[in-house]
C-alpha cells in the first residue's frame, strides 16, 4: 500500500510542468533510489540517545594530560590558527575549540607527548567559550619549588661570581701597592 502511494506521488510530481509548460520528467531519475529507500533502515542515528559512531580517519579533538605539561609553549607556536595559549605561572593550558582546525600540529610538536587527538567531539555549546585546563595543586607546588630552587642557585652563582671578581680586584690592588716604584 505504502509503495503504491509513493509511486502515485512520484507520478504526480513527474507530470508537473515547468514554467514554460514542458512536462518535468527529471524527478523520475530519483524514483528508483527513493523507492529503494522506503525498504531500507534509516541512515540517521538517534544521537544523543544512541552513541555516535565516527568514520575511520576522523581526527576528533585535542586532549591534554595537563599534569605532564611543562608549559614550554611549543604547541602554541605550532598552532596555525592561534587556538592555544599557555600560562606558566598559573599552570593553565587553554584551547579555543572554535578556532581549532584539528590539524594535529600541536600534538606532533609537544616534547612531553601530553597532547593527543581523541576520537569524538566536544559537547555542543551555544557560546564561544574557551576550555581551560588547570594543573593540579600538587604539580603547581612542585613547579613553584623547582623555580625557587633554580632562582636560589642562580642567585648563589651570581654572588660567588661577584665575590670572586671583588677578590681578584683586591689582589690586583694589593699587588700594585707592594710592587717597587720605578
Ligand atoms: S590541532 Fe591544530 S589548530 Fe587545533 S590546537 Fe592543535 S595546532 Fe591548533
Ligand atoms: S607543547 Fe606540550 S608540554 Fe609544551 S606547553 Fe604545549 S602541551 Fe605543554
Closest C-alpha residue for ligand 2 atom 8: 69
The answer for residues whose C-beta is within 8 angstroms of residue 115's C-beta and 6 or more apart is: 62, 63, 64, 65, 75, 106, 107
Residue 66: its pLDDT value, please? 97
pLDDT tens digits, 78-115: 999 999 999 999 999 999 998 999 999 999 999 999 99
Closest C-alpha residue for ligand 2 atom 2: 110
Closest C-alpha residue for ligand 2 atom 4: 72
Q: Give the nearest ligand 2 atom to 112 CA.
A: 3
Residues 114 and 84: beta-carbon distance below 8 Å: no
> Does residue 16 register a pLDDT over 90?
no
**DSSP H helical ranges for the chain:** 2-14, 31-37, 74-78, 105-109, 137-178
Lowest mean pLDDT among 7-16, 71-80, 115-124: 7-16
Residue 146: its pLDDT value, please? 93
Strand segments (E) across 1-149: 61-64, 84-87, 92-95, 115-118, 131-134
DSSP helix/strand/coil, 27: helix
Task: Note the CATH number of domain 61-135.
Answer: 3.30.70.3270
Record the pTM: 0.68
152: which 3 cell numbers? 636560589
Q: Give the nearest ligand 2 atom to 86 CA.
A: 5
Residue with the bigger pLDDT between 18 and 83: it is: 83
pLDDT tens digits, 27-38: 677 788 888 888
Separation of CA 17 from chain center: 53
> Does residue 3 register a pLDDT over 70?
no
Amino acid at each position: 500500500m505504502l509503495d503504491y502511494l509513493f509511486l502515485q506521488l512520484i507520478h504526480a510530481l513527474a507530470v508537473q510542468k515547468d514554467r514554460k509548460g514542458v512536462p518535468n520528467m527529471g524527478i523520475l531519475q530519483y524514483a528508483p533510489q527513493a523507492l529503494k529507500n522506503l525498504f531500507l533502515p534509516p541512515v540517521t542515528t538517534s544521537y544523543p540517545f544512541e552513541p555516535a559512531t565516527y568514520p575511520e580517519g576522523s581526527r576528533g579533538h585535542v586532549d591534554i594530560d595537563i599534569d605532564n605539561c611543562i608549559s614550554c609553549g611549543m604547541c602554541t607556536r605550532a598552532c596555525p590558527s592561534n587556538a592555544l595559549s599557555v600560562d606558566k605561572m598559573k599552570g593553565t593550558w587553554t584551547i579555543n575549540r572554535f578556532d581549532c582546525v584539528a590539524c594535529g600540529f600541536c600534538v606532533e610538536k609537544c616534547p612531553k607527548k601530553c597532547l593527543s587527538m581523541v576520537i569524538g567531539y566536544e559537547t555542543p555549546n551555544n557560546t564561544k567559550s574557551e576550555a581551560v585546563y588547570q594543573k593540579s595543586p600538587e604539580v603547581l607546588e612542585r613547579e613553584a619549588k623547582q623555580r625557587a630552587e633554580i632562582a636560589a642557585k642562580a642567585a648563589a652563582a651570581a654572588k660567588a661570581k661577584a665575590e670572586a671578581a671583588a677578590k681578584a680586584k683586591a689582589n690586583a690592588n694589593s699587588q700594585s701597592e707592594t710592587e717597587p716604584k720605578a
